[in-house]
Amino acid sequence: MANVSYVTEQGLEKLKKELEQLETVERPSISQQIAEARDKGDLSENAEYDAAKEAQGMLELKISKLKDALANSRVLDKSKLDTSTVQILNIVQLKNKKDGKIMEYTIVSDTEADLKEGKMSINTPIAQGLLGKKVGDVAEVVVPSGKMEFEIIKISL
Could you read off the pLDDT of 63-122 as tens digits, one per residue?
Answer: 999 998 888 888 877 777 778 889 888 999 999 988 989 999 999 888 888 889 999 998
Residues 71 and 83 in one domain: no
Give the pTM.
Answer: 0.68
Residues 96 and 64 in one domain: no
In the chain, the number of structural domains is 2
Q: Which has the minimum average pLDDT: 1-5, 23-27, 84-88, 148-152?
A: 1-5
Domain boundary residue, one of 32, 52, 75: 75
Q: Which helix (H) or strand (E) covers residue 156, if one does?
A: strand 146-156
Who has greater pLDDT, 6 or 100? Answer: 100
Q: What are the Cα distances from residue 81, in Å, to 49, 90, 156?
A: 51, 8, 10
Residues 28 and 45 in one domain: yes
Kindly state the average pLDDT of the residues 119-140. Answer: 91
Residues 92 and 144 in one domain: yes
Please report the pLDDT score of residue 2 as a whole number.
Answer: 57
Residues 100 and 67 in one domain: no
Residues 85 and 146 in one domain: yes
CATH number of the domain that 129 lies in?
A: 3.10.50.30
pLDDT 10s digits, 23-42: 999 999 999 988 888 887 76
Structural domain of 39: 5-75
Please report the pLDDT score of residue 1 as a whole number.
Answer: 41
Residues 47 and 95 in one domain: no
Residues 59 and 103 in one domain: no
Please report the pLDDT score of residue 143 as a whole number.
Answer: 84
